[in-house]
Amino acid sequence: MIAKIKYLLCFIFPLLCFTSCDKDLETSNTALENFEMLWTTVNEKYCFFEYKKDSIKDWNEVYREYKPKALSSRTNMELFYVFADMLNELKDGHVNLYSSFDVSRYDIEGDFLPNFNSNLLKKHYWGKDYKIAGGLRYTMLEGNIGYIYYGSFSSGFSESNLDYVMKYFKDTEGIILDIRNNGGGVVLYVDMLASRFTNRKVLVGYWQSKIGKGHSDFSEPKPIYLSPSSHNSYYGKVALLTNRLCYSAANDFTQTVKVLPNVVVFGDKTGGGAGMPVSSELPCGWLLRLSVAPYMDANMQYTEFGIDPDVRVDMIVEDELQGLDTIIETAKSWILGTKS
């Protein structure tokens, strides 16, 4: 819980509290000073160097490549984008640089299917009579199957919202919980929602913290548990739908509920993002957000690069033309016990 509170604060801080103005590099500090601090901070605190050693550049090589670029920058803006490119070498969506004019970000690489069609979803599944409870949109599908769409963990909900939803679906054959295209948000809502689907305390993962400046200097893994909610809950079949655009808190939620015996994950691999970020400020006033504490699943495997579904399903074009979402239909078949 302490780790997740820290994660929450680190997520909100750069978004809500970044008010400092960019300082003039020519008068208050130098490009070299900022480069050295940025590179060193990442070198000493970033938590996935060893895990990603076969997929990212050596950080010393990055130093040699980007230092000349930083020193040749003529303006703050030029320097910012040199730093942004350098940080993107880490391939981490939790690594960002905040200035008054832009925010650097890493977009997941690869040629993958979207596996999501919002127009089809709204027209053929939500209809016009869906209900809204906080950030949750929910309705009843054919076959007495509950359906919930949760598009962002930044969109909150209350325990009361969840009470109504769980009560509404209490006599259904199962629930489809769709978090496709959920880019993450506030991790407080991860446990709030996940706790409604278990009747016992369960180990869902581990986390570590950096204890030294070396790339491998970590604490012993510390267990993370999910406790059952004392409110209305649902212990029937739950089909969780994911795709490659599920990041951060959505990745965490997938990791959390994947261990529950009544939950099966359908769709595509999640996008990842399993490092707890903290923030620090450069001399020029820019704010660096950096992954410093890795999360692992219940088998002590890192999930930084995403979590595989239990049932891999891609949307089929022919189904879409008929108004069908292949992933939803596959989940429905599982819930009803029919052949997919």
Q: What pLDDT sits at residue 29?
A: 65
118-273+295-336 falls under which CATH superfamily?
2-enoyl-CoA Hydratase; Chain A, domain 1 (3.90.226.10)
Q: What is the pLDDT of residues 150-207, one digit of tens each?
A: 999 999 999 999 999 999 999 999 999 999 999 999 999 999 999 999 999 999 999 9
**Quick one: which of 112, 149, 108, 152 has its CA closest to 132?**
149
> Rounded to whole angstroms, how far apart are CA atoms 89 and 187?
26
- Model pTM? 0.90
pLDDT at 19 over 60: no
Per-residue CA distances from 75 to 34, 80, 174, 321 (Å): 13, 9, 57, 51
Q: What pLDDT sits at residue 25?
A: 58
Lowest mean pLDDT among 72-81, 105-114, 250-259: 105-114
Q: What pLDDT sits at residue 9?
A: 38
Domain ranges of the chain: 2-98, 118-273+295-336
pLDDT at 13 over 50: no
Q: What is the pLDDT of residues 118-145, one digit of tens each?
A: 999 999 999 889 999 999 999 999 999 9
Q: What is the mean pLDDT of the chain?
A: 92
**Mean pLDDT confidence for 309-313:** 98
pLDDT at 24 over 70: no
Confidence class for position 264, pLDDT limits 50, 70, 90: very high
Q: What pLDDT sits at residue 7?
A: 44
Q: What pLDDT sits at residue 111?
A: 83
